Amino acid sequence: MLLTTHPPEPHAKPRFDDIFMELAVNLAKRSHCIKAQVGAVLTRDTRIISIGYNGPPPGTHNCDEEFPGVGCPRDSKGSCSLALHAEENAILYAAKNGSEIEGATIYVTLSPCIACARTIYSMKIARVIYLHSYAEYKGIPSDEGVDFLRRFGVTVDRYEPGTGVTLLAEPPLSGPVTDQKTARTPERDSSIG
């Protein structure tokens, strides 16, 4: 949810970065994953091309219903074995519907893993804006996906709320949230891992 910290200037309009990241945060809440909820918004210019959140392919099952309390089976790396990532869902839906993806921007609540980064690069998405760090979430030394994308010329930025705006966002991990943190609060990121 976006909050303003002071009354907006007359006729002030929110930035599209704030609007699209707020939508990604809300989409993450649609995820049936009991381990992490991630949302993504794929845009071109000021228009939404597609949206996505993490979970199994449509029409298969919902992890929180079929595997309550434990989640779906894990692969050899400890990741969900049945789920598509939010970026994958947004990109696949856009491609399925014939949307022009090249040059697009994707807003995602968790920075891309290396597999999603390869897909983003292959689809010629020009810009990635993320809220939380995948490396911090997974407890690994670097954001491999971010490093890969930057190495090959994709613009990748960590989301920063606009002036006077606070984005209330839960970390990507599910479970009871005892304290809402803002996107500008550094200690929020350390609670992810």
Query: Cβ contacts of residue 30 below 8 Å, gap of 6+?
Result: 37, 39, 53
- The closest of 109, 113, 56, 111 to 83, measured between CA atoms, is 56
Active-site residue, 87 included? yes
Number of domains in the chain: 1
Unique residue bearing structure tokens 């994953």: 33
Separation of alpha carbons 50 and 44, rounded Å: 10
Residue pair 168/180 in contact (Cβ under 8 Å)? The answer is: yes
Whole-number pLDDT of residue 6: 52
Which residue of the set 9, 65, 66, 87 is catalytic?
Answer: 87
Q: One digit per residue, pLDDT tens: the chain, 193 residues?
A: 445 455 556 666 889 999 999 999 999 999 988 888 999 999 999 999 999 999 888 888 888 888 888 888 887 777 777 889 999 999 999 999 999 999 999 999 999 999 999 999 999 999 999 999 999 888 889 999 999 999 999 999 999 998 877 777 666 654 333 333 334 333 333 223 2
Separation of alpha carbons 35 and 80, rounded Å: 9
CATH number for the domain spanning 31: value is: 3.40.140.10
Please indicate, yes or no, if residue 170 is contained in any of the structural domains. Answer: no
Whole-number pLDDT of residue 66: 82
The helix-helix angle for 16-28 and 86-96 (nearest 10°) equals: 110
Domain that holds residue 153: 16-158
Whole-number pLDDT of residue 181: 37
Please indicate, yes or no, if residue 47 is contained in any of the structural domains. Answer: yes
Which residues share a beta bridge with 155?
Answer: 127
Separation of alpha carbons 193 and 164, rounded Å: 28
Please indicate, yes or no, if residue 172 is contained in any of the structural domains. Answer: no
Unique residue bearing structure tokens 């939508």: 23
Please indicate, yes or no, if residue 1 is contained in any of the structural domains. Answer: no
